[in-house]
Structure 1
């Protein structure tokens, strides 16, 4: 059948279409080009279309036929069609076939086509993102030829791209250019490609994050939520973002999916991992007393401070109250090599292999290059760089019984990939402690009367490369956790960069975490008897 198809095509081109293509070859004002149609739509996890195709026009001209190039350019400008310098120069120099503008609305194209015999257009497909900013850092965008340039649109361009159609423009007997396809118009069943994001959860996270950035005076906000049972990313938002329909109007820094590309020192959201190790190896008794030096502790010619000047705390309260000094003292029981290998087994310093996004790997230097201060610093979340997605999947592992999933932004029929990294022995102790953090520790602002939340606050000074030391004015505030505590469904991380109102994760990120968690829990069917609904009327 394949050979017969080739023979039939050759007969069609060489005999049936011979005169047509011969005449084209003699015509000096013809042009062959390619367009792509029927790119697959992108949907959220529930089938809501978040990237689709729309009919647009692509204006072209055989510029040698233009009587007054300057008038044409001026009128196009008056109609809102702004030409690049390169295109303008080609028209002025009358260089032959020129693409004037892609993605023009059809009525405008029709107007110029009727007024100027040298101008024509084809009905093409452009990409349209109906939710503007909402999915832009995940889905990305396409170029003028409907080719993926960023995000899922680029990573999965082979799966998404449509069929190429060759078109020839030829001047007819009246001097007007007409178009010929090398095949009949494609009538294809709409194809779809699904991501794991839930549109409603994404909207909740975006609105909550926007309010938080404004309320706390932060430079940036990031929120990411994961299904703890399979690694699906349910929402991932960075504010401020960009409108994918007008991506070229924004700084490229805003294009990034910061849930996978944002590198930060995690601060105290690292502390539970020290406790898990100690519990797994029978190196800690939660009732033992740890002297926290009344808030100041000199080690390796460096002073470690606690926010509050604690005297003696139980080992349990070292975590609940987030004592840096107590954590460092407890972590000193672990050999450097063992601590390094443990952190590597949790994925620190390595890519998560996330499906559907690029990512940073973070930074964890090999223990042989550590200074005396390195291990104490790492235990409290300094001298290590992580990404939000690395943290959210580790808190998912705390919630789900110890399984570290490969995260996914795109839906897959394959069995979720996971590695067992924590034992139930340690988790059965740490989980109640993370609940205590919310009940009476550093994250009481995350305490909800509607959905039980467990987690850990983080506040970290940012390292100033210019000064070669930690900044006294720039901080990263965070809260990482999961909910509902009694039946975990979602792990989440909320991060604020340089919040001005308060530098602490407990008074910034934890507030937003709670706001998102309460609303997402409703969507998940969690039995909430009463829930405040903000009046937006």
Structure 2
């Protein structure tokens, strides 16, 4: 039995061994097919690779560039403007523009332009057209956007409604806090764009000088316009490669070099400017005048320390903008300077040896007839010297001096003082005034020109003329920019003549003069009033221009100031009452803030004797 079991077991093992040794026949055609397939696929891949590398080698790099190359801009923010002491007058602060991609909004809410039109209905309660059927119209988020940007939601829809549009501004010059609020709304198609906003810390005080910029930071008025290219700089552009997350991984090419914006430092002293503006504003309002201007010049450098105008406006609030308020009246508005030119006529007579400082002129009986027309004084002043002619502002006395001169001599003197010429400060809109040139002059025309009629000037030109007197007859180039190294001046009238006339003008602010209100405590001042009628069609009307120009301190002049008040109303329209107090207040502040010592009375006489 055991033997039978053993034999059965051995037979099974032998059968298993035989089964393991069974092999299938090799398939030749299958091997060939697989090999050819592999070779064919490899050949196709190699052919494609060769095609791309040899026939179209730039295709892949072009496709890569489309996905990774970007042109970026490096914005050059507009330069700052400061006063001579470094106080900021105009600065650029970060701001944003909010814009929308109408296509994304339409895709998100799945409506067409036709559906927009069909959804327009008239609100029965308000009577206004509204897109009441649109889902986003009732959305609290879109209502919030409308409210924060102060844009009616109907206007938002009108912007989105534009066909084939991918970009539209919603609002510009938006501050960062509003941008953060809009970001939290997470509205589709709404994005921001960095830009800059021009801010003027001093507001209306300097608005007429600085001007303003538009929404694209381009200067459109004032210094902002005159020096636009310098202040603007140049935005740079370059090509960069970015990864899929938007990070820059390579700077490929600089397309446009960035040019940093320049900063301007003006000659203006903001402390003096603020005083000049406040005093001018007060005088214009108190006298119910229409406008006014004040200019403060450094006699020894030609720098403009203040140039105030009224009316003005706050450039930070564009709702106040009106063209007439922005005008820099100190350089644009001309007027007949009246008796403020009398010191220049006296200078001319001295220059051409038609008189001397000790001459006494008979002005009796207080009037005279020239060519059938009458020139008169307020009352008969009798026999007076040159200093008294200026102190009492005698039309007769100065007319007699002018009649001794040839017309071209008087005109040349006025031209030497800067009348009829550009002052050279390079500000947009400056007027040169009017200096008539004729072949023949009547005596009456020459006489009236000697007390400021028939010619026109600006406040800046008048201040420059008095600065020439204060500098000993030297004309310095005027500048609205701070001069670390002042340019040399040129002698336009003799030094001794300038000093002598300045001494004569001191009496104007003394008792019995036309402007005792111009006096500055602790300092000797020289000045002259001018009250002239305004010309109108057919002659002169009942409106006046009140002007005062002067300089101080007499012993060593530092500042020349001209004040013009246009059309003061009421009984107090004379320059001694209207313009002189402004001069006094502004001159006092200018001298004290600049640490100018009070006069040494002996110093002036030493200068006169040496010349």
Would the TM-score normalized by the shorter structure come out above 0.5?
yes
1:524 aligns with 2:568: no
Could you give the per-residue CA deviations for residues 261-291 of structure 1, whole angstroms, max 9, x where no partner exists?
A: 1201000001111100111222114444433
User: Partner residue of 1:500?
Assistant: 569
Aligned residue for 1:66, secondary structure, equals: helix
Compute the displacement of 1:92 (Å). Answer: 3.8
Aligned residue for 1:243, secondary structure, equals: coil
210, 216, 219: which is aligned to 1:148?
219
1:448 aligns with 2:520: yes
**Aligned counterparts of 1:195 and 1:17: Cα–Cα separation in 2:** 53
User: Partner residue of 2:66?
Assistant: 22
Compute the displacement of 1:409 (Å). Answer: 0.5
Are the counterparts in 1 of residues 198 and 217 from structure 2 also a CA contact under 8 Å? Answer: yes
User: Partner residue of 1:177?
Assistant: none
169, 174, 178: which is aligned to 1:99?
169
Compute the displacement of 1:58 (Å). Answer: 0.6
Aligned residue for 1:426, secondary structure, equals: helix
- Measured on the aligned residues, the alpha-carbon RMSD in Å equals 3.5
Larger Cα Rg: Structure 1 or Structure 2? Answer: 2
The 5-angstrom pairing of residues 167-316 of structure 1 reads 192-247=263-318, 249-316=320-387
Could you give the per-residue CA deviations for residues 241-279 of structure 1, whole angstroms, max 9, x where no partner exists?
A: 111223463211221222211201000001111100111
1:66 aligns with 2:137: no
Q: Identify the structure with the greater strand proportion.
A: 1
**Aligned counterparts of 1:522 and 1:16: Cα–Cα separation in 2:** 75
User: Partner residue of 2:462?
Assistant: 391
Shift in alpha-carbon separation, 1:282–1:187, aligned structure 2, 3 A: closer
Are the counterparts in 1 of residues 89 and 202 from structure 2 also a CA contact under 8 Å? Answer: yes
Compute the displacement of 1:447 (Å). Answer: 1.7
User: Partner residue of 1:4?
Assistant: none
Shift in alpha-carbon separation, 1:504–1:212, aligned structure 2, 3 A: same
1:509 aligns with 2:548: no
**Aligned counterparts of 2:60 and 2:444: Cα–Cα separation in 1:** 81
Q: TM-score if structure 2 supplies the norm length?
A: 0.74
Aligned residue for 1:401, secondary structure, equals: coil
Could you give the per-residue CA deviations for residues 383-435 of structure 1, whole angstroms, max 9, x where no partner exists?
A: 10101111111111101111112211013456425321111221232111111
Are the counterparts in 2 of residues 87 and 98 from structure 1 also a CA contact under 8 Å? Answer: no
Shift in alpha-carbon separation, 1:380–1:117, aligned structure 2, 3 A: same
Shift in alpha-carbon separation, 1:366–1:82, aligned structure 2, 3 A: farther
Are the counterparts in 2 of residues 340 and 367 from structure 1 also a CA contact under 8 Å? Answer: no
Are the counterparts in 2 of residues 136 and 242 from structure 1 also a CA contact under 8 Å? Answer: yes
Shift in alpha-carbon separation, 1:349–1:64, aligned structure 2, 3 A: same
Shift in alpha-carbon separation, 1:286–1:58, aligned structure 2, 3 A: same
Are the counterparts in 2 of residues 280 and 425 from structure 1 also a CA contact under 8 Å? Answer: no
Compute the displacement of 1:216 (Å). Answer: 2.1
Q: Which runs of 5+ in 2 are unaligned?
A: 1-57, 110-115, 117-130, 132-136, 245-250, 600-611
Stretch of structure 1 that moved more, 229-238 or 433-442: 433-442
Compute the displacement of 1:509 (Å). Answer: 0.8
Aligned residue for 2:456, secondary structure, equals: coil
User: Partner residue of 1:344?
Assistant: 415
User: Partner residue of 1:485?
Assistant: 554
Shift in alpha-carbon separation, 1:112–1:498, aligned structure 2, 3 A: same
Are the counterparts in 2 of residues 40 and 161 from structure 1 also a CA contact under 8 Å? Answer: yes
User: Partner residue of 1:125?
Assistant: 196
**Aligned counterparts of 1:370 and 1:17: Cα–Cα separation in 2:** 84
Q: Which runs of 5+ in 1 are unaligned?
A: 1-13, 174-180, 530-537
Could you give the per-residue CA deviations for residues 444-471 of structure 1, whole angstroms, max 9, x where no partner exists?
A: 111222322111111111101xx32111
The 5-angstrom pairing of residues 418-433 of structure 1 reads 418-433=489-504
Are the counterparts in 2 of residues 451 and 517 from structure 1 also a CA contact under 8 Å? Answer: no
Are the counterparts in 2 of residues 81 and 101 from structure 1 also a CA contact under 8 Å? Answer: no
**Aligned counterparts of 1:457 and 1:33: Cα–Cα separation in 2:** 61
Aligned residue for 1:160, secondary structure, equals: helix
Aligned residue for 2:170, secondary structure, equals: strand
User: Partner residue of 2:122?
Assistant: none
**Aligned counterparts of 2:349 and 2:397: Cα–Cα separation in 1:** 13
User: Partner residue of 1:10?
Assistant: none
1:322 aligns with 2:393: yes
Shift in alpha-carbon separation, 1:34–1:341, aligned structure 2, 3 A: same
User: Partner residue of 1:471?
Assistant: 541
Shift in alpha-carbon separation, 1:350–1:221, aligned structure 2, 3 A: same
476, 495, 516: which is aligned to 1:405?
476
Shift in alpha-carbon separation, 1:130–1:315, aligned structure 2, 3 A: closer
**Aligned counterparts of 1:454 and 1:88: Cα–Cα separation in 2:** 68
Shift in alpha-carbon separation, 1:77–1:275, aligned structure 2, 3 A: farther
Compute the displacement of 1:118 (Å). Answer: 1.3
Are the counterparts in 1 of residues 357 and 500 from structure 2 also a CA contact under 8 Å? Answer: no
User: Partner residue of 1:437?
Assistant: 508
Compute the displacement of 1:334 (Å). Answer: 0.4
User: Partner residue of 1:54?
Assistant: 93
